[in-house]
Amino acid sequence: LNNSLIHAYAKCGSLDLCKRVFDEMDSRDVVSWNSMLKAYSLHGQVDSILPVFERMDIKPDSATFIAILSACSHAGRVEEGMKIFRSMFEKPETLPQLNHYACVIDMLGRAERFAEAEEVIKQMPMSPDAVVWSALLGSCRKHGNTKLGKVAADKLKELEPTSSLSYIQMSNIYSAEGSFNEADKSRKEMERWRVRKEPGLSWTEIGNKVHE
């Protein structure tokens, strides 16, 4: 019940109430700690989430690190996030999995630290999945990194050939830099392969031209 209350208060933005419920708990398991960490993570409260993590008196699990890395990513706290990420290699039971790598790529990409993001991908002990490449592609679109964005988009097409994400993101990247012919090619390639545009994704409108 207390964990559910923390979750509900977090969704409403009532972090003080989350903390009160958490502090008044007689005993806490990893779910309890993660609930509090996720509450702070949801609102990018890195200065609050790190002390809670340091206070944990039980072994963290995969969800623990997801919450912390996500908070660092959204708050732009790359150094703290990378320190946490590196600490995961110290014990076999906390070795990073694909979802942790996706968080790190998102964090580095948001900060335009693309060389580091590429290096992390190269050193992954498993093949990057669509979530990892999507995180990189999203950051490339945001910061206009066409070259690396094309690499990520091509990888994403290999993994998810029926997804429209790679086509639309690249079209938007090309449009943003004024390469409208390339943007049109991306759209036509999508049509040629009969890939349907997914709900929630859209083309970019620039000036008087609508890139549908």
Q: 21 falls in which pLDDT band (50, 70, 90)?
A: very high
Question: Are 1-96 and 128-212 the same fold in CATH?
Answer: yes
State how far the Cα of 54 lies from the Cα of 50, in Å rounded to an integer: 6
* Residue 151 Rama label (left phi>0; alpha psi -120 to 50; beta): alpha
Return the CATH number of 128-212, one of 2.60.40.420, 3.90.1150.10, 1.10.287.610, 1.25.40.10: 1.25.40.10
Residue range 179-203, pLDDT digits in tens: 999 999 999 999 999 898 877 655 4
Q: What is the rounded distance in angstroms from the CA atom of residue 29 to the CA atom of residue 22?
A: 11
Helix ranges restricted to H, 56-113: 62-75, 78-87, 98-110
The answer to whether 176 touches 204, Cβ cutoff 8 Å, is: yes
The domain ranges of the chain are 1-96, 128-212
Residues in the chain: 212
Considering the chain, what is the average pLDDT of its residues? 92
What does the pLDDT look like over 46-96, one tens digit per residue? 999 999 999 999 999 999 999 999 999 999 999 999 999 999 999 999 999
Distance CA 158, CA 105 (A): 19
Q: Kind and range of the H or E element at 50?
A: helix 46-55
Residues 6 or more apart whose Cβ sits within 8 Å of residue 154: 166
Select 1-96's CATH number: 1.25.40.10, 3.40.190.10, 3.30.420.40, 3.40.50.1980: 1.25.40.10
Enumerate residues 6+ apart whose C-beta is below 8 A from 145: 112, 114, 139, 173
